[in-house]
Amino acid sequence: MGGKRKQVGPLRRAQLAYRAPISVRIEMNIERVPECGCWIWMGAVNAQGYGFMKANGRQGFAHRWSFEAHNGEIPKGMVICHRCDVPACVNPNHLFLGTYLDNAKDCVKKNRQPALTRNGKAKLTIESAARLRAMRENGASLKELSLEFGITQVHACRVSKGAVWPAEDSHG
């Protein structure tokens, strides 16, 4: 009963932490910034500044683990966006569920990425997107369109349906 307590070394502490619930592991690896409310991930980060960790046998982004720990499973095809635009932030109040398109629009709205033709990597112009749609309406295949415009068939399909490259550059 009154025996010595066994000392726990750093390796054993790490093993115990790894087995802790995800919410506890997140709490152990953040630094709260009162001025802005961000919870900055202090664990491993990638080149873009997003935190990552391994849990439940799989590697994932820390902000996604945080969102799931506080809000439940992320539906398939959805992404987790940052209201604060701080990649290392894992505060669930700064995260929201969105589609890839929502995330791209948010990025453009906040001037973090050029819109459509102002993007130096864009392969289409508003005019060529309109021409692509017209060619598709006249029976051109996605393969023909992809070769003609130097884009993938998937992108040609999305342009032809108006999912990207609307009739006018309404993104500013």
The answer to whether residue 12 sits within a structural domain is: no
Residue 105 shares a structural domain with residue 120: no
64 and 98 share one domain: yes
What is the pTM for the complete model shown?
Answer: 0.57
Q: Structural domain of residue 40, as residue ranges?
A: 17-109
What is the crossing angle of helices 153-160 and 142-149, to 10°? Answer: 100
- pLDDT recorded at residue 23: 82
Question: Long-range contacts made by residues 123-126, C-beta under 8 angstroms, separation at least 24?
Answer: 123/149, 123/150, 123/151, 124/149, 124/151, 124/159, 124/165, 126/165, 126/167, 126/168, 126/169
Whether residues 57 and 74 fall in one domain: yes
Q: Are residues 90 and 49 in the same domain?
A: yes
Q: Tell me, what's the pLDDT at 172?
A: 41
Average pLDDT value over all residues in the chain: 81
Q: What is the pLDDT of residue 113?
A: 58
State the virtual CA torsion across 129, 132, 134, 135 in degrees, nearest 10.
170
At 113-172, the pLDDT tens digits run: 555 555 556 778 878 888 999 999 999 999 999 999 998 888 888 888 877 766 544 444
Pair (71, 105) in one structural domain: yes
pLDDT of residue 12: 55
In a domain, residue 100? The reply is yes
- What pLDDT, in 10s, does the model give residues 28-45? 888 999 889 999 999 889
Residue 144 in any domain: the answer is yes
